[in-house]
Amino acid sequence: MQPNGSANEQANVVVVDDEEMVVTSIRAFLTLETEYEVQGFTDPEQAVKHLEVTPVDVVISDYLMPKLNGIQFLGKARSLQPEAARVLLTGHADKQSAIQAINEVGLFQYLEKPWDNAQLLLIIQSAIERARLFRSLHDKITELDSAQSSLKNVQSRLLRAFL
């Protein structure tokens, strides 16, 4: 089994594609090869609702879908969970869409259909590591802000005590 990136926290992956076969295929592969928690959706609007309440590490989306295309969906995913890595699945003719997604939604990676499972796994593993590094960085910045605030408070009290 592949490591999930952290001994004490299971990685969460969301897969969104309007083709049930694609969702099932990726979910089955990841379930067999990893210990990741994988949620699959054929409706991007349902996936958005999931992202509103469930923290995830990686969001994988097809580009061509009804209701929301992959770029629109990943834009919503970015606003809901900015630390989560975003991966776009595209057909061969959709490379321009991948370039657009890189610019518009901070795409981590794009992968052409049909994908290679080994490449998909490497991308997901890297994406999970990236998401966790961003979260760790965010936590450290919050800690530093808190420490700085505490130091300013101590400094103010010391100045008042001696003046």
Residue 101 CA to residue 83 CA, distance in Å, equals 16
Q: What is the pLDDT of residue 131?
A: 94
Let me know: does 21 contact 27? Beta carbons within 8 Å. no
The full 3-state SS of the chain, as one line of letters, equals: CCCCCCCCCCCEEEEECCCHHHHHHHHHHHHHHCCCEEEEECCHHHHHHHHHHCCCCEEEEECCCCCCCHHHHHHHHHHHCCCCEEEEEECHHHHHHHHHHHHHHCCCEEEECCCCHHHHHHHHHHHHHHHHHHHHHHHHHHHHHHHHHHHHHHHHHHHHHHC
Residue 14: φ, ψ to 5°: -115, 130
For 44-75, b where at least 16 C-beta lie within 10 A, e where not — what string?
Answer: beebbebbeeeebbbbbbbbbbeebbbbbbbb
**Residue-level pLDDT, tens digit, the chain, 163 residues:** 334 344 457 999 999 999 999 999 999 999 999 999 999 999 999 999 999 999 999 999 999 898 899 999 999 999 999 999 999 998 766 677 777 777 888 999 989 889 999 999 999 999 999 999 998 998 899 999 898 988 898 888 888 888 7
Residue where the block lists tokens 């991948």: 98
Single pTM value for the model: 0.82
Distances (CA, A) of 104 to 3, 58, 108, 148: 31, 17, 11, 34
